[in-house]
Structure 1
Amino acid sequence: MAERIWGLAAVPAAERTDLLAAPVAAGLEDWKAVAAERPPLVAEVDPELSDTAAASEAYGFPMEAGANCIVVTGKRGGEVRTAACVVLATTRLDVNGAVRRRLDVRKASFARQDDAVAATGMEYGGITPVGLPEGWPLLVDAAVAACPLVVVGSGVRRSKLIVPGAALAGLPGAETVDGLGLPLES
């Protein structure tokens, strides 16, 4: 039976792995350690309305509860360094400040779409912190970690995960970073 959260009909993600990218379904094992009391939920959405702002409007969740997972890369001494970063939809990622310093690179930038999709095994626009490649740092903005529930990608555009922000911060490789998300400029 679906649980209504905002305008989303959510069910335990473990019951609907058909709504998840394969790496995300496999990554559900990580939840047993970080959020056993609140398993991740998944809700089917219209893929045309999957972008955070459109989903917020269509399904009634506040933008303050929307989270985006962004893949960032940089180079140091010829070595490519990659991280996934999670910030609230009401902020912008501090790529050349907090992320660049954490990756210890001269310049950080958003990963190319094709590279992010190939590396994660997830659809662009649905990339999520659950089921990321082993060894990637996962940087979670402190504001995300403080949210009781966030709506984030599920690895595919046709659904969304609904999870406690603190559980994202407890995933393997995760690090909570103050100021990772900066206020949007008006």
Structure 2
Amino acid sequence: MTPTRLDRIVGTLSRWSARLGGAVVLACALLVAAEVILRNLPGGMPEGIRLHSFDLTNYGYAAAVAFGFSYALTERAHIRIDVLYALMPLALRAILDVFALVCLAATAATMAWYAWDVAMRSAAMGAMPNSTLRLPLAIPQSIWAAGLTWFAIVATLLTVQALVQLARGRIRQVHESTGVVREGEGL
């Protein structure tokens, strides 16, 4: 199936969001390594230096994972248990693929909704972390919510696209764009 312009845009944005997430995870690893090295210097951590690696890596990891979800979806990399799936006829597999996308889109939208609720509540009450890092919690929570929102948008777009293909009787296209990738099938 030839990708549409929308497929290419969503794929490109999702790939870049995953790359950004990967860079954040790498930065988290470097931050933790720097803190470990500094703590093990003779005399311990130099006076006045605080890296806040625990807080920052927690925030970074949550954002990286949230932004990575959409890439996993566009690459059909989410884990599925497909023992019986492979034995089913193509039409039934396509219907199950669309059903799975509908459920995933609903779950992603719910996660995004509640993530924004958490971020907005934190902003309204001026919530701060229980640490020496004085970063308002609404900031990392909003970044996390934005990642989940992008995931919900991508899941919804792919669901609508699959539903249209299914309604038009394009069973093979539904499977090729949303189905489980079998060994040797490639992306």
TM-score > 0.5, shorter chain as reference: no
Larger Rg: 2
Q: Which is helix-richer, 1 or 2?
A: 2
Q: Which is strand-richer, 1 or 2?
A: 1
What's the TM-score once normalised by structure 1's chain length? 0.21
What's the TM-score once normalised by structure 2's chain length? 0.20
